[in-house]
A = this chain, B = another copy of it.
Amino acid sequence: MGSCFVDRIGELIELTAAEMVALSGLEQRERSLRRGAVLLREHDKLADMFIVRRGVLMSFVLLPDGSRQILRFLFPGDLIGVSSLVYRTSTESIAALSEAVVAPFDRALIGTLIAEHPRLTGVLMALHEMERVILTDRLAALGRTSAKVRVASLLIEIRNRQRIDDRNIGASFALGLTQEEIGDATGLTSVHVNRMLRQLEEEGMISRAGGRFTITNEPALIRAANYIDRSSRIDLGWLPAAK
């Protein structure tokens, strides 16, 4: 019954009652997705946005030669379809990687939010900027790091993200991705992903069994991934007052 978006934003600021109401207003409707279902296709006409309520999805683009680049993985509390605030048609495709539930809402509601809740608007911009910074980190990884580094950092990223929703997750976790999907996210072929995973395993950083990964030497894996933790440096001191 709770709102995922309220939870997400509530981690950044202390919400007023009115703000909570406004945010929950975005999650009135619900739509369930099977694993593999496509929520949005590139170039689809686009007037709705979505908030992820449950499950994991991915956003990706397809290139003329048929290859796929996964842009990001979407977890509960994430926004889908922000590009509808600018473009008539979607710039990305979205598909479910597990059973998933999303909450669709009309993009015009963002306009209402901006007009009535300046502080929430500020947080929205901050969330949006965090997305952008994640993309720059990925860009640097694709442009300037080796296959092993990219695979290692994907493992760490997904594990850390899963742990936010489930504090029980420790060294062992289910990645929930095929090796082909790992490849499409890291800019590699599935064959080479397989070799990199085996190499990380041989070097004692991870072990694998039945689709589950276990990080057996976390410091080494983090070093191999040149992982950047940005969550500790957040500062929203500039936000306008709540209305």
- Residues on B with C-beta less than 8 A from A17 are none
- Residues on B with C-beta less than 8 A from A92 are 136
- Residues on B with C-beta less than 8 A from A115 are 118, 240-241
Q: Type the 1/0 row for A95-114, where 1 means its CB is closer than 8 Å to any CB of B.
A: 00000000000011011101
- Residues on B with C-beta less than 8 A from A136 are 61, 71, 91-92, 135
Using a Cβ–Cβ cut-off of 8 Å, how many residues does chain A contribute to the interface with B? 57
Q: Of A81-89, A169-177, A200-208, A212-220, which binds chain B?
A: A81-89
Each complex incorporates copies of this chain amounting to 2
Instruction: Please pick, from B64, B85, B129, B140, the residue contacting A238 in the complex, using a CB distance under 8 A.
Output: B85
Closest to A107 in B: B238
24 contacts between A and B (CB under 8 A): A63-B140, A67-B144, A68-B144, A69-B139, A69-B144, A82-B132, A83-B132, A84-B238, A85-B122, A85-B238, A86-B235, A87-B133, A91-B136, A107-B238, A111-B122, A114-B121, A114-B125, A114-B240, A121-B121, A124-B125, A128-B132, A138-B139, A142-B187, A143-B186
Q: Which A residues are within 8 Å of any B CB, using their own CB?
A: 61, 63-64, 67-69, 71, 82-89, 91-92, 107-108, 110-112, 114-115, 118, 121-122, 124-126, 128-133, 135-136, 138-140, 142-145, 186-187, 226, 230, 233-236, 238-241
